[in-house]
Amino acid sequence: MYFAVTDVKPLTNYLLRLTFQNGEQKVFDMKPYLETGIFKALKDESIFNTAKVSFDTVEWINEADIDPETLYHDGELISK
Protein backbone atom coordinates (compact mmCIF):
# COMPACT_ATOMS: atom_id res chain seq x y z
CA MET A 1 0.00 0.00 0.00
CA TYR A 2 1.15 3.52 -0.71
CA PHE A 3 -0.11 6.98 0.05
CA ALA A 4 -0.66 9.41 -2.80
CA VAL A 5 1.38 12.59 -2.97
CA THR A 6 -0.91 15.60 -2.57
CA ASP A 7 1.70 18.37 -2.62
CA VAL A 8 5.34 18.79 -3.62
CA LYS A 9 7.77 21.64 -3.13
CA PRO A 10 11.25 21.49 -4.67
CA LEU A 11 13.91 22.60 -2.19
CA THR A 12 17.60 23.41 -2.55
CA ASN A 13 20.18 20.63 -2.87
CA TYR A 14 17.77 18.43 -4.92
CA LEU A 15 15.38 17.76 -2.07
CA LEU A 16 11.61 17.48 -2.36
CA ARG A 17 9.21 18.38 0.44
CA LEU A 18 6.24 16.06 0.04
CA THR A 19 2.80 15.93 1.60
CA PHE A 20 0.94 12.61 1.42
CA GLN A 21 -2.79 11.89 1.58
CA ASN A 22 -2.45 10.65 5.17
CA GLY A 23 -1.17 14.10 6.22
CA GLU A 24 2.45 13.08 6.67
CA GLN A 25 5.14 15.36 5.34
CA LYS A 26 8.49 13.99 4.27
CA VAL A 27 11.68 15.18 2.63
CA PHE A 28 12.98 13.03 -0.23
CA ASP A 29 16.56 13.32 -1.50
CA MET A 30 16.76 13.05 -5.30
CA LYS A 31 20.58 13.22 -5.50
CA PRO A 32 21.08 9.42 -5.70
CA TYR A 33 18.88 9.34 -8.83
CA LEU A 34 20.51 12.18 -10.78
CA GLU A 35 23.01 9.93 -12.59
CA THR A 36 20.36 7.55 -13.91
CA GLY A 37 18.41 7.69 -17.16
CA ILE A 38 15.77 10.37 -17.51
CA PHE A 39 16.63 11.77 -14.05
CA LYS A 40 19.98 13.12 -15.37
CA ALA A 41 18.09 16.10 -16.82
CA LEU A 42 17.01 17.06 -13.29
CA LYS A 43 20.57 18.16 -12.51
CA ASP A 44 19.48 21.34 -14.30
CA GLU A 45 17.82 23.13 -11.39
CA SER A 46 15.39 24.91 -13.70
CA ILE A 47 14.04 21.49 -14.70
CA PHE A 48 14.21 20.08 -11.17
CA ASN A 49 12.12 23.01 -9.94
CA THR A 50 9.26 22.11 -12.31
CA ALA A 51 8.24 19.24 -9.99
CA LYS A 52 4.46 18.95 -9.68
CA VAL A 53 1.90 16.43 -8.47
CA SER A 54 0.58 14.21 -11.24
CA PHE A 55 -1.45 11.01 -10.83
CA ASP A 56 -0.60 10.51 -7.13
CA THR A 57 3.15 11.10 -7.54
CA VAL A 58 5.72 13.67 -8.65
CA GLU A 59 6.39 14.48 -12.30
CA TRP A 60 8.73 16.95 -14.00
CA ILE A 61 8.48 18.89 -17.25
CA ASN A 62 10.70 16.31 -19.00
CA GLU A 63 8.08 13.63 -18.13
CA ALA A 64 10.28 11.98 -15.51
CA ASP A 65 8.32 10.62 -12.59
CA ILE A 66 9.07 8.50 -9.57
CA ASP A 67 7.12 5.75 -7.86
CA PRO A 68 5.02 7.09 -4.97
CA GLU A 69 5.96 4.03 -2.88
CA THR A 70 9.63 5.00 -3.21
CA LEU A 71 8.87 8.57 -2.20
CA TYR A 72 6.89 7.43 0.82
CA HIS A 73 9.16 4.66 2.07
CA ASP A 74 12.47 6.41 1.45
CA GLY A 75 11.41 9.91 2.49
CA GLU A 76 12.42 11.31 5.87
CA LEU A 77 9.42 12.11 8.06
CA ILE A 78 9.00 15.80 8.98
CA SER A 79 5.57 15.76 10.63
CA LYS A 80 2.17 14.13 10.69
What are the structural domains, with CATH classification, of the chain? 5-79 (3.30.2020.10)
- pLDDT (tens digit per residue) in 24-78: 999 999 999 999 999 999 999 999 999 999 999 999 999 999 999 999 999 999 9
Altogether, the residues listed in the chain come to a count of: 80
Contact 56, 66 (CB under 8 A): no
Q: What is the DSSP letter of 53?
A: E
Write down the pLDDT at residue 23: 93
Residue-level pLDDT at 2: 74
| Start-to-end CA span in the chain (Å) | 18
